[in-house]
Structure 1
Amino acid sequence: MNIFEALREDHDTQRILVDSLVKTEGDSNARDMLFKQIKVELQAHATAEERHFYVPLMGYDMTQEKSRHSVAEHHRIDKLIGKLETLDYSSAAWLVEAKKLQHLVHHHLEEEEQEVFQLGGRVLAEQEKRALGTDYEAEMESQREALSS
């Protein structure tokens, strides 16, 4: 699997999780479980993607600005997750912030897939795309394990 295929697969998972999260209600086991799961997925993804996609792309003039922008969006997502952690699941504010997270995640993933992937596809060689995909998947597995324990 190349880097773009691996990222798209994880993007699909993130969309499903964040969309499911905002459909939960109150201080429920479902909300708790989904929030913990999306938190792990987003944090693991950000780390793996930055190391095995954005760092290599920053080496090219054509992709440097978009890469930096995407990394900045990862930090905005982290801040929203942090804010959600401080709020009670049953508060109205929690759902408001969860919907902000949903919007930002969807925006971020669409921007990556529509803009960054196109540019990245032009600067990365086929062999590099495959190697980055392998490295990304291994990093995701490692990050998921570390964050879940």
Structure 2
Amino acid sequence: MNIFEALRESHERQRRYAQALVQTSGNSEERVQAYKQLKEELHAHETAEERFFYIPLMAHDTGVDLSRHAISEHHEMDEMIEELDETEMSSPSWLATAKKLSDKVHHHLEEEEHKFFQMAGKILDDSQKQSLANQYVKEYEEQLAEG
């Protein structure tokens, strides 16, 4: 497995969880569960991805701007999660923020897969792609376990 395949696995989970979240209502068990899954997935993915994808790319001039942009989008998503944590789940503003988060997640994943991965594919050699995948998966699993 290379780093792109490893990241895409989490991307697919994020898409499913974000979609499920915006289809929930009120203070339901489904909403609680969907939010918990998305929040944990985003945290584990962002942490591992920043450490074992974006930081290595920042060592190259061509990787700096895209990496900074991606990390800033991670921060925006984290701020939306903080807002959700501080808002009553049954509130209409909670669902509005959840929809903004879902939109941001989908936008970010599209951008990564269609822009960042192509750039990174030119910067990283095959052994780096394999090594980063192994490190990413290990960190991702540790972050999920800490949940």
User: Same fold, TM exceeding 0.5?
Assistant: yes
2:41 match: 41
Query: In 2, Cα distance between the equivalents of 1:79 and 1:43?
Result: 12
Identity of aligned residues (%): 49
Q: Tell me if 1:127 matches 2:138.
A: no
Structure 1 residue ranges (4+ consecutive) displaced by more than 6 angstroms after TM superposition: none
1:20-99 paired onto structure 2 within 5 Å = 20-99=20-99
**How many Å apart are 1:6 and its aligned residue?**
0.3
Deviations 1:33-62 (A, max 9, x none): 111111010011110000000000001111
**How many Å apart are 1:27 and its aligned residue?**
0.4
Deviations 1:90-109 (A, max 9, x none): 11101100000001001111
Q: Which runs of 5+ in 2 are unaligned?
A: none
**How many Å apart are 1:73 and its aligned residue?**
0.5
Q: Count residues with an aligned counterpart.
A: 147
Query: In 2, Cα distance between the equivalents of 1:98 and 1:85?
Result: 11
Query: In 1, Cα distance between the equivalents of 2:59 and 2:79?
Result: 27
RMSD: 0.5
Q: Which amino acid aligns with 2:17?
A: L
Q: Which runs of 5+ in 1 are unaligned?
A: none
SS state of the match for residue 84, structure 2?
helix
SS state of the match for residue 27, structure 2?
coil
